[in-house]
A and B are shown apart, each in its own frame.
Chain A
Amino acid sequence: MVRAVPGWLRIAGYVFVVLTALILLAPLIVVVGVSLSESQFIAFPPNGLSLRWYQEVLSSNAYLNAGWISIQIALMVTLLATLIGGAAAIAIHRRQLPFSDLLATVFLSPLVLPTIIYAIGMLMFWSSVFGPVSPLVLALSHTVIALPYVVRTTLAVLEESDPYLEEAARTMGANRLQRLWFVVVPQCIPGLAAGAFFAFNISFDEAVLSLFLRGPTLTTLPVQIYGQLEFSPDPSVAAVSTIMIALTIVLIFVIDRMLGLTRFASA
């Protein structure tokens, strides 16, 4: 038998993986480190340990408002994208519309277009037609970029589903709504759930659309952080960022429990 992998290459592999993991995680570790610092200045490794910057964040209206707006918009996007994208995926999957292939391309097209191009279009269109940007407009724009993910995850689940279940329900006398609600939708749930997580995460972290469509009262958390970084960051930015990282970790944990992370990653 041949040796599976030469020894030196195996060692090189270990070193490579450790270094890559370090590069991938370095910025996150640094942010967490800075947030625990005692001093006024951003420094890593931190000088002394304290939670004072978290206190600062929790008593800062700017951060709390931004956080609240971000959560509201992300929830709105999750709901809209899951409903609209799920319904569209079901229609695309059935292939009964004369233009279903085109429809699939149309629904996935926001993936191809760089967000910055879309953001400009959105800013120019809405402010010239409807005036100042409202939270609803920002939520709609986030929904547009989250939609392809929901469509994709739901379609992937539907591809593996049994097409005869709906037929069976029909022969047994279920009407359209019953078939949809009791047969098709339950089969979509893993895809819808994965899509919903994507949608929440995309909206909550999104910075480009939020920057272009921001307003005096419409500042999301990433935009608030970006603004701080451009001017005078103090460790409170790191504390907010750490809270966002913590939220991501919770999200990943929930996804792993509910759907299995390895499967989610290949979606």
Chain B
Amino acid sequence: MNDRTENLLLALPGILLLGLAFFLPIAQMLMLSISGPDGPTLAHFARFLSDPYYLNILWRTVRLSLLITVICALIGFPLAYIMTKVGPTARLWLVVIVILPLMTSVVVRTFGWMVLLSRSGMIPEILRDMGLVGRSFALMQTEAAIVIGMVQVLLPFMTLSILGVLTRIDGRLEEAARTMGCSFLQTIRTVVLPLALPGIVAGSLLCFTLSASSFVTPNLLGGTRIQVLAASIYKSVTATPDWPFAAAQAVILFVGILLVLVPYIKLTGTRHG
């Protein structure tokens, strides 16, 4: 046996698993998305792209995902920055606070929001008591509920990817900026933020991809009236069942995500040489 055979044997179980249980199923799904009663067809795509109902779902998915991503970045950056500046004990606690929700099932977390946002729940009650909203105010089954729930679900991903980059920044750069006369906020803006950008971009892509493709939280918080693309896919698989149409929608989702991801991979790829 030579080195190559040994390494091939080590990698083989993984290659087989991914081939049979990952690439083949995806290929099958791609085939199904263009399969019709008489040969290959693009009818399923045409049906999606010509129906205002589905275009509306697509637009809502993109809009909400962008909003969720931006909110996550706005909260995630300061949170990650503060995590690098506090002492080790405080940092450990903050890591726990970020990781505990991350490692808890999405179903469980969404349930918590269902209780908080329901008609008699705590948040609408408080808003009503403060006189900010009317008697009939409701949060469940609104886009706002989806955004609140998804931000909580995705914030840990954003925070951790920014944290990973921030911890590698040389602290002396900030000190140098300060001694040269920058104020604290100027230092953040001209030194920390540009250096943290790769982490923010990576975290944003992750958040966008995950929120564009999630359906458990949007389905439970938004209800059946406010559908997102992933929820519509799930419906086409289980309720209708129309598998070729579900496959076509999945392909549309995937192409949309690739359109966002590929420029980034190209960009970072060239930067690393």
Contacts and interface: CB of A to CB of B under 8 A. Distances in A.
B209 interface: yes
Contacts of A113: 26, 254
B4 A205 contact: no
B271 to A, nearest CB: 17
Contacts of A221: 105
Interface string B98-134: 1111011111111111111010111000000000000
A17 B103 contact: no
Given A117-B26, A120-B29, A265-B163, A144 B17 contact: yes
Nearest to A242: B108
Main SS of chain A's interface residues? helix
Contacts of B17: 80, 84, 140, 143-144, 147
A175 B110 CA distance: 53
A71 interface: no
B46 interface: no
Contacts of A128: 28
A261 B155 contact: no
A248 B104 contact: yes
A208 B215 contact: yes
B103 A116 contact: no
B188 to A, nearest CB: 10
Interface stretch (B37-45, B52-60, B88-96): B88-96
Contacts of A31: 108, 111-112, 115
Nearest to A34: B115
Contacts of A23: 151-152, 155
Interface in A66-87: 80, 83-85, 87
A125 interface: yes
Contacts of A126: 25
Contacts of A251: 103
Interface stretch (B6-14, B137-145, B189-197): B6-14
A252 B93 CA distance: 12
Interface string B157-199: 0001001100100000000001100011100000000000000
A36 interface: no
B200 interface: no
A114 B210 contact: yes
A116 B111 contact: no
A211 B214 CA distance: 13
A262 interface: yes
Nearest to B3: A96
A233 interface: yes
A35 B112 CA distance: 11
A172 interface: no
B207 interface: no
Interface band, chain A: 35 or more
A241 interface: yes
B75 interface: yes
A211 B210 CA distance: 17
Contacts of A123: 237
A11 interface: no
Given A117-B213, A120-B250, A125 B105 contact: no
Interface stretch (A47-55, A57-65, A103-111, A157-165): A103-111
13 contacts: A29-B112, A30-B116, A44-B115, A90-B10, A91-B7, A97-B4, A117-B253, A118-B25, A125-B28, A151-B14, A226-B220, A241-B108, A262-B95
Interface of B: 1, 3-4, 6-8, 10-11, 13-15, 17-18, 21-22, 24-29, 32, 75, 78-79, 82, 91-92, 94-101, 103-116, 118, 120-122, 151-152, 155-156, 160, 163-164, 167, 178-179, 183-185, 209-210, 212-216, 220, 230, 233-234, 237, 243, 246-247, 250, 253-254, 257, 261
List the 6 shortest-distance A-B pairs measured between CB atoms, nearest first: A27-B112, A114-B213, A121-B25, A125-B25, A205-B105, A88-B14
